[in-house]
Amino acid sequence: MHESEKIEEAQYFYDQMKRSDSDLKTFKFNLSAFLSAARSALQFALEESKSKAGGQAWFDSSVSHSQVISFFKDKRDINIHSSPVSVNKNIGIMAHDTITTISDSIKIVVSDAQGSVKNIHSSEPESTPSEPPEDEPPVVTVTHRFDDWPGNENVLQLCAQYLNEVRRIMADGSNIGILSQ
């Protein structure tokens, strides 16, 4: 009955999360609102389905087959009843630099923190010195992750999956006449 409005609300907060990913506090506020709105859509569907023959069984079956639905149900319950939702903020920085040498040849060895060689680059001098390439600005990426999610998806990817699952359930319920949507 009100499922569509709650899905639109969840979409709104999802869009806000995408815009605020560098500000952890704002991101978490929007995630909290997203969790509540998306879960409310499912709660409205549950209440409406109870009034139809076979509706409760359809709803239970629809939500029980989705790991992401179960995960987000638990996240929302914890967020409302126990403690604010917790995420890890990961910042990645990709920087480029130019090295200019005046030597006849150069050898660069790249190794990891344990000392294992990852890459070796050797070069001989060019007949004419080349202009150094323009410096590229560093690229900063911010992602958020749930500690307890077993997959590789970040919070935004999981929220998109969850929203798609909620939409799929609503569409299925509407198609078989259980939900009025």
- Asked if residue 105 is part of any domain, the answer here is no
Q: How many domains does the chain have?
A: 1
Give dist(CA 37, CA 34) in Å, integer: 5
Q: How confident is the model at residue 132 (pLDDT cuts 50, 70, 90)?
A: low
Q: What is the pLDDT of residues 25-79, one digit of tens each?
A: 999 999 999 999 999 999 999 999 999 999 999 999 999 989 999 999 999 999 9
What share of the chain in percent tops pLDDT 70?
A: 86
What pLDDT score was predicted for residue 162?
97
Q: What are phi and psi of 3, to 5 degrees?
A: -60, -45
Which of 163-179 are b and which e, b meaning 16 or more Cβ less than 10 Å from the residue's Cβ? bebbbebbeebeeeebb
Whether residue 63 lies inside any domain: the answer is yes
The pLDDT value recorded for residue 127 is 58
Tens digit of each residue's pLDDT (9 = 90 or more) over 83-92: 999 998 888 8
**pLDDT at residue 146 greater than cutoff 90:** yes
Provide the 10 A C-beta neighbour count for residue 113. Answer: 5
Residue 134 lies in a domain: no
Q: Using CB atoms within 10 A of its CB, is residue 131 exposed (0-12), middle (13-18) or buried (19+)?
A: exposed
pLDDT at 114: 73
**Radius of gyration in angstroms for the set of CA atoms belonging to the chain, rounded to a whole number:** 25
Q: Which domain holds residue 39?
A: 3-92+143-175
Residue 112 lies in a domain: no
pLDDT at 120: 75
